[in-house]
Amino acid sequence: MDPLPQYAEFETLEEVPRSEEQKDTVIFHKSSSSHGAGVVVPYPLPPTYTSSPSESRARCPPTHTFTLNSDLSVRLTSHAARDDSTPIFHNGSTISGTVELVVKSGLLSTLDSVTVSGRVDIPFNLEFPKSCDIWGKPAAPPPSLRVPGFLYSFDYELVCTVKFKPLNLSSDLVIPVRYLPRKEAGAPSPARALAYAGRSRIPGPLADPTGWKSHSIELDVRAFGVRDARVTCTVLDLLSTHSAFTVVLTRRTRTDSIDQDTCDVVGRGRSWVIVEEESIPFTRHLDGEMRLSPQLLQSFSYSPQFSLEYRVDMRIDAPGISMSTPSNQTGWLFQAPVDITSLRARDSPLPISYAPALRVGETVQPLHTSPADPSPKIYFGISGE
């Protein structure tokens, strides 16, 4: 299998998300069948820790200062992590700050008998716009976006203009800002919420059908190039290893011109074999999880001309197993669209990680630069016989 492409964000998101701002978790569940060979010990859940509130959650918002020739300064607060970073605002945010203007002696000396000098501070409050006009129709403002190799971008600037009417002069201070709207994830099923709260294993698709999006797949495969076989009850020992399946999160930008579409792999899943209390004969079950970078932008659509979409892709990479159907030899088993959000469901337990420690020889390929902690997660599950 060719290595997955490395991905680096054009601009590092410097905001540290609070606990209520963490992205939701998606879960996958795998299951395959065999002749019952091999006993697998399930991985225990990680222990519960009680941590003291971090300083970053209780800190005051940073104050950014921007200056033009020492005569004009603008100070404003934002949701960014540091005062030396680009100001960040969300949907519903209010841009609050102060304009500081210094008038020096001699600035208006061209006017007879006029000597003006001093300093004035002008406070301001601006509500971030909830809509913008596109081709005569209102639309929600898109988030700030710059994708490597992509010709289009969405940028926002705060412009402060000072005019000196007697001299017909003006000064402009342009401040780049980042707009990152946030939407809330859907509430988990009651059974999954109960598992999160009790730190117990998430119930599978049979026990909790409303908590899963299931895909049933039956494939013709060739074992070691010798014979064709159904996946059911065949070579499942090969399919029951953590490296037998590749599950990735793919991000795609769509435009009205197909030549400008881009596609990136932005997340990779891990899987592990589990033992069911009442296991079905000739069946294997694997659970999995995908950890996402907090730098990921949430899914959005801006008019019919542009959209940012995500999907979960899966294929078989077990050694000695190949697809018998030519159309499936290099393709993915399924591609399921998913929605990435910035906020977890309100009044729901915080999703937890179930992934075991890295095994010997197992690595997690970094797909983003400078990820912030805590990272959000996607849980996934695959089932088969």
Cα(297)–Cα(341) distance, rounded to whole angstroms?
Answer: 8
Cα(156)–Cα(140) distance, rounded to whole angstroms?
Answer: 14
Is pLDDT at 206 greater than 90 in this prediction?
no
pLDDT in tens, 32-71: 544 443 333 344 454 444 444 444 455 688 999 999 887 8
Contact 269, 380 (CB under 8 A): yes
Task: Write down the pTM of the prediction.
Answer: 0.67
Instruction: Provide the token pair at 205.
Output: 């698709």
pLDDT in tens, 327-362: 455 567 778 899 999 888 888 898 888 888 887 767
Secondary structure string (H, E, C) spanning 49-87: CCCCCCHHHHCCCCEEEEEECCCEEEEEECCCCCCCCCC
- Contact residues for 340 (Cβ-Cβ < 8 A; gap 6+): 23, 292, 296, 297, 298, 299, 310
* DSSP states along 22-34: ------EEEEE--
Nearest to 154 by CA among 364, 360, 373, 305: 305
Contact 81, 63 (CB under 8 A): no
Contact 73, 100 (CB under 8 A): yes
pLDDT in tens, 269-288: 888 877 665 666 667 778 88
Highest mean pLDDT among 28-42, 87-101, 216-230: 87-101
**Helix, strand and coil percent figures for the chain, each rounded to 5:** 10, 35, 55
- The one-letter code for the residue type at 153 is S
Cα(64)–Cα(162) distance, rounded to whole angstroms?
Answer: 19
Higher pLDDT, 298 or 333: 298
Instruction: Provide the token pair at 128.
Output: 């971030």
